[in-house]
Amino acid sequence: MSISTPINEQISDFNNWVADLQTRMESVLDAQLPATTISPMRLHEAMRYAALGGGKRVRALLAYAAGEFCGADLGKIDVPAAAVELIHAFSLVHDDMPCMDDDDLRRGKPTTHKVYGDAMALLVGDALQSLAFQLISQDKLLKSATQKLQMLHILALASGSRGMAGGQAIDIESIGIPLTREELEQMHIHKTGALIRAAALLGAYSADEPDQEKVTAIDHFAKSIGLAFQVVDDILDAEADTHTLGKTAGKDAKNNKSTYVTILGLSAAKQLANELHANAMAALSFYGREADCLRHLANFITQRSF
């Protein structure tokens, strides 16, 4: 399924779409990250280590799918999608540090602080965050200052204390404290949901004048799929082994963290993932084939390994 032809429903075509855009995102990030020949070289090397060569690029895929749905040129989605991936990469680097989750493995390779040391990892995260905002602010393909400003605002809100950082704060405060399902949901809406929503909205706003009903539909879709993503993460953490996951498995239980699996049990957690998937689909119910890519992506996210 090429980007310029109508989306068809064949899974193999969707898989090609995913593979093509994962490759594309890698190229965009490679081009936008500072070269290792530019000073400070070791910081730039570590930033590239943290941001390149791995991950499913779910947020970028969501931005591309939402952008296409709203009629954006593929090229205009590149930088906003890359910015979201940089924010995500920064959060992983900091999240893996000894004072946070203390993880040794990420995307199947040693975490940034294991390779470059804690101090450099701290700066890598800081600099990746700045770079995300820098890239959108200087993007030449997005012509309208208002459009870029709106994206920067969405991204800053999603990253900050009322978004991702806030969710992480709730997370570290809740270690060892059993959460209710509602509290757990609040944590995840911030910790992962906010950035996933931002990815979808930045994709939508890559179109010059996106249809507001489509933007609303995408927002509802992204809310459900963002939560589904986390429920699936909890299931995978409980079920998978470290090799399959590409990061240390079983950490949640070891750290005495509340998860959808510890609160609901494995079977009900899977049921919840399916319900959230259905909600996401319902948000697109007024749309035809132009939303198929988003639908496939919902399947991709919720059916990753079970």
Chain-centre distance for alpha carbon 10? 24
Cβ at position 216, least distance to a copy of itself in Å: 21
CB 98 within 8 A of CB 112: no
Give CA–CA dist 28/79, Å, rounded: 7
Question: Tokens for 213?
Answer: 């009903």
Cβ at position 28, least distance to a copy of itself in Å: 18
Of the pair 10, 256, the CB lying nearest a copy of itself is at 256
Largest CA distance in the chain: 52
Q: How many CB atoms lie within 10 A of CB 23?
A: 11
In one letter, which amino acid is 11?
Answer: I
Cβ at position 188, least distance to a copy of itself in Å: 13
Of 100, 224, 119, 229, which Cα lies nearest the Cα of 169? Answer: 100
Question: Tokens for 67?
Answer: 């952008």
Of the pair 119, 212, the CB lying nearest a copy of itself is at 119
Give the list of residues 6+ apart from residue 90 with CB closer than 8 angstroms, or none.
50, 124, 125, 126, 128, 129, 132
Conformational region of residue 108, where left means phi above 0, alpha means psi within -120 to 50, and beta covers everything else: left
Of the pair 80, 163, the CB lying nearest a copy of itself is at 163
Cβ at position 129, least distance to a copy of itself in Å: 6
Cβ at position 274, least distance to a copy of itself in Å: 29
Q: Which residues here bind a copy of itself, judged by CB under 8 A? A: 34, 38-40, 42-44, 47, 90-91, 94, 97-100, 117-120, 122-123, 125-127, 129-131, 133-134, 137-138, 144-146, 148-149, 152-153, 155-157, 159-163, 165-166, 168-170, 172-173, 186, 190
Cβ at position 149, least distance to a copy of itself in Å: 5
Give CA–CA dist 205/109, Å, rounded: 34
Of the pair 31, 172, the CB lying nearest a copy of itself is at 172
Beta bridge partners of 109: 106
DSSP 40-57: SHHHHHHHHHHHSS-S--
Cβ at position 96, least distance to a copy of itself in Å: 11
